[in-house]
Amino acid sequence: MKAFRVRRDRAEVMGIAAIVLATLGQYLNLRSMVVPGVGVREGILIDLIAAQYSGVSPSADEKRVEDRLRAGAEWFARRFNYDAGHAEQVRRLAVSLFDQLRPLHEMGPDERLLLELGAILHDVGHTIGRKSHHRHGEYGGRAGPLS
């Protein structure tokens, strides 16, 4: 209850639901599963299922490169006074959809990382102009230090 900040009635159900979904996934030999977010605080079940079915984990070297690229995108976005909370929410939702739809789009970790970086940087163009912020942001991304 404390860890996930949920009421007792929710906490009692969440653990059991996670076990049922994980067992069902193993029994049915599923590669992925879509879990409705209704009533699930902070996407706990989605995170548990994603960890179970998200595919191959990156190597330590790949993880370092990904972390460095994410940090570079965040550094670049901070220079444009981006809304870090909003960017993180967009990033989280984008990769959740990406992971859930992986069987349909069949894209890999490189495309997932590119989506994450785009989510972090998606609003940096607001500093230059609100009307065409998407174009300004694209130019900044292409011409900036990450390109």
Instruction: Among 20, 38, 53, identify where a domain stops.
Output: 53
HEC sequence for 66-115: HHHHHHHHHHHHHCCCCCHHHHHHHHHHHHHHHHHCHHHHCCCHHHHHHH
User: Does 83 share its domain with 108?
Assistant: yes
pLDDT of 9: 77
User: Is residue 3 a part of any domain in this protein?
Assistant: no
pLDDT per residue as tens digits for the range 45-77: 666 666 666 555 667 888 899 999 999 888 888
Domain match, 66 and 137 both: yes
73 lies in which domain range? Answer: 60-143
Give the predicted TM-score (pTM) of the model. 0.55
- The CA distance from 143 to 147, in Å, is 6
Max mean pLDDT among 24-28, 31-35, 93-97 falls in 93-97
How far is the C-alpha of 101 from the C-alpha of 125, rounded, in Å?
29
Tell me the C-alpha distance between 146 and 114, whole Å.
11
Q: Are residues 104 and 32 in the same domain?
A: no
Q: Dump pLDDT digits (tens) for 112-143.
A: 998 898 888 887 766 666 666 566 566 666 66
89 and 130 fall within a common domain: yes
Q: Take residue 120 and report the two structure tokens written for it.
A: 């972090």
Residues 35 and 73 in one domain: no
Overall number of domains in the chain: 2
- Portion of the chain with pLDDT greater than 90, in percent: 9
Tell me what pLDDT residue 119 has.
86
